Amino acid sequence: MPTDTVPEAPRARAPEKVRFEGVTKRFGDHTVLDGLDLTVAPGERVTLIGPSGSGKTTILRLLMTLERVTDGVVHLDGEPFSHMPAGPGGKLVPADERHLGPRRRRIGMVFQQFNLFPHMSVLANVVEAPRHVLGLDADEAAARARELLALVGLAGKADAHPTRLSGGQQQRVAIARALAMRPDLLLLDEVTSALDPELVAEVLDVLRDVADGTDITLLCVTHEMGFARDVSDRLLMFDRGRVLEAGTPDELLDAPEHERTRSFLRSLR
Amino acid sequence: MTDSGTTAFLPALGRALPAIGEGLLVTLEATALGAALALLVAFALGLAARSRSRTVRGAVRVTVEFLRGTSLYVQLFWLFFALPMLGFRLEPMACGVLALGLNYGAYGAEVVRGAVAAVPAAQTEAAVALGMGPGLRLRRIVLPQAYVLMLPPFKNLLVQLLKSTPLLSLVTVADLTFRIDQLRSATGGTAAAYLLLLLVYFGVAVLLGAAMNALERRAKARLGVTGGSA
């Protein structure tokens, strides 16, 4: 049998949670990401910083498969995620829903605008996916949801309607909702950017607790450098679709190499 | 002639009341069955209009445009007079329900398509991020929110459908219009009979509208939106 007919085997137990392999994303003529290579280790906390339009949010959206890559492959847990092997050659083709479905469940995402379901109570928002995606029975899903609502400090709001909550409370519900699926990778997309300044701390405190209390892999896009410094193992400075520089929070925030990084950090103050 | 017709009208109306009541029931039946079929057609075509396949979308487009672009009156006559020549004979009531269901279903398809498209994409994205598949997303997240948007246009279509049912009397369905027209020719009380006809349709339309408004208020309350159209 010729070797080129052997399907490509997933790299077993690779020390990578996520790997972007030459990922390019274009919207029309506009190139948002340009041949990005990026690996995130299991349990690692990585924060993406950089000016808006530099492609940070696109990375999270590609990883959550809310967008499709223009070129390249996104890998999850050592196997292709954005693509799947097909045919006798194991050639990679864009993934279909059957490939994406079970893998998406390992990833949770919290959005800038919360995106709670407005036709459901707070509790129902958190119960929804465990109940209908994981198939938990109603009692089990509700118990899990109440536990998480307590974790985010909203035990008393279970029966409230999402629109009756403050932005900070809504975002904490969204965090509980994402965690209810027990993802091992959590994507945080500018989760405090839509909040009034006095509500930012309550959301970040909850996220610090999550980061400290679990070994979940975190990928954040944020402009909150204090939070980024506290939780991150590694910071990546993005500029025009590429990683300009990378390092520990101390390296990048206190001694940036590039003038663009320095001017970006100055602009946040 | 008019005077004698008017004086004879009230006693004749009294005698005709049971028949008119039956006619009203037939009208309500045609409205209910026509609306039920229209709802099915509306969801089938409206959701298929969002298919990824261009062929499916094209076929839906042509079907909807054809059903909306040809008169209900002609559709009904075609079903009643032309279809038997091809070997399919339907009961008059079945012809009526089919014509109403297809015609109003095509209008409803646009309502369904538009309402589903109006649910923010962020809602679908949140559902994707929770691992929900396409069917679950549609059923649990998108349709419940689209439903609220569908109710006001559906109310209009339902009242219009009711007001189209007199066409059925032209293919021998003994509906309200048919019965009151019988009363008119028996008494010659044209003005009184048709005034009565106007009032009964108006009354039914008001009741249907009120029922739809109640549904809309309930749906909005569940969404946490206060207020609503009267």
Tokens of A250: 């101390």
Confidence of residue A2 (pLDDT cuts 50, 70, 90): very low
User: Given this model, what pLDDT does residue B189 score?
Assistant: 86
Does A128 sit within 8 Å of B133, measured CB to CB? no
Q: How many domains does chain B have?
A: 1
Q: Does residue A162 belong to the interface with chain B, where contact is any CB pair within 8 Å?
A: yes
- A98 class by beta-carbon count within 10 Å (0-12 exposed, 13-18 middle, 19+ buried): exposed
Q: Which residues of A touch B130 (CB under 8 A)?
A: 108, 128-129, 133, 177-178, 181
Q: For residue A242, list its beta bridge partners.
A: A239
Q: Which residue has the tokens 């118990």?
A: A143
Q: Does residue A94 belong to the interface with chain B, where contact is any CB pair within 8 Å?
A: no
Q: Which residue has the tokens 């009156």?
A: B73
User: Given this model, what pLDDT does residue B11 score?
Assistant: 85
Tokens of A99: 């490939």
Report in angstroms the alpha-carbon separations of A36 from A53, A94, A238, B102. 15, 18, 11, 52
User: Given this model, what pLDDT does residue B1 score?
Assistant: 44
Does A117 sit within 8 Å of B224, measured CB to CB? no
Cβ partners under 8 Å of residue A56, min gap 6: A48, A49, A50, A221, A238
Q: What is the set of domains in chain A, with CATH numbers? A: 3-106+183-268 (3.40.50.300), 107-182 (no CATH)
Indicate whether B184 belongs to any domain: yes
Q: Which residue is closest to A188 within chain B, CA to CA?
A: B129
Does A117 sit within 8 Å of B123, measured CB to CB? yes
Indicate whether B182 belongs to any domain: yes
Q: Which of B131, B133, B141 sits opposite A181 (nearest CB)?
A: B131
Provide the edge-to-edge strand list for the sheet that holds A18-27: A30-40, A18-27, A71-76, A79-80
Tokens of A194: 């839509």
Which residues constitute the domain of residue B195? 2-223
CATH number for the domain spanning B83: value is 1.10.3720.10
Q: Is B104 left (phi over 0), alpha (psi -120 to 50) or beta?
A: alpha
Q: Contact, A194 vs A136, CB < 8 A?
A: no
**Phi, psi at B190, each rounded to 5°:** -60, -50
Task: Taking residues A42-61, report their average pLDDT.
Answer: 91
**Residuewise pLDDT in 10s, chain B (230 residues):** 444 455 678 888 888 889 999 999 999 999 999 999 999 999 999 999 988 899 999 999 999 999 999 999 999 999 999 999 998 889 999 999 999 999 999 999 999 999 999 999 999 999 999 999 999 999 999 999 999 999 999 999 999 999 999 999 999 899 999 999 999 988 888 899 999 999 999 999 999 999 999 999 988 887 765 433 33
Task: Give the mean pLDDT of chain A.
Answer: 90
Residue A103 Cα, gap to closest chain B Cα (Å): 8
Indicate whether B158 belongs to any domain: yes
Task: Taking residues A18-45, report their average pLDDT.
Answer: 93
Q: Which residues of B touch A113 (CB under 8 A)?
A: 122
Q: Does residue A194 belong to the interface with chain B, where contact is any CB pair within 8 Å?
A: no
Between CA A92 and CA A17 the distance in angstroms is: 19
User: Given this model, what pLDDT does residue B229 score?
Assistant: 37
Q: Which of A108, A111, A129 sits opposite B132 (nearest CB)?
A: A129
Residue A27 has pLDDT above 80, yes or no: yes
Q: Which residues of A touch B151 (CB under 8 A)?
A: none
ipTM here: 0.90
Percentage of residues in chain A having pLDDT higher than 90: 77
Please give the DSSP secondary-structure letter assigned to residue A90. Answer: T
Q: Does residue B123 belong to the interface with chain A, where contact is any CB pair within 8 Å?
A: yes
Indicate whether B230 belongs to any domain: no
User: Given this model, what pLDDT does residue B223 score?
Assistant: 78
User: Given this model, what pLDDT does residue B55 score?
Assistant: 94
**Residue of B130, B220, B225 for testing the chain A interface, max A β-carbons within 10 Å:** B130
Residue A124 has pLDDT above 80, yes or no: yes
Does B132 sit within 8 Å of A133, measured CB to CB? yes
Q: Which residues of B touch A105 (CB under 8 A)?
A: 131
Residue A141 Cα, gap to closest chain B Cα (Å): 14
Between CA B111 and CA B157 the distance in angstroms is: 10
Distance of alpha carbon A155 from the chain centroid: 25
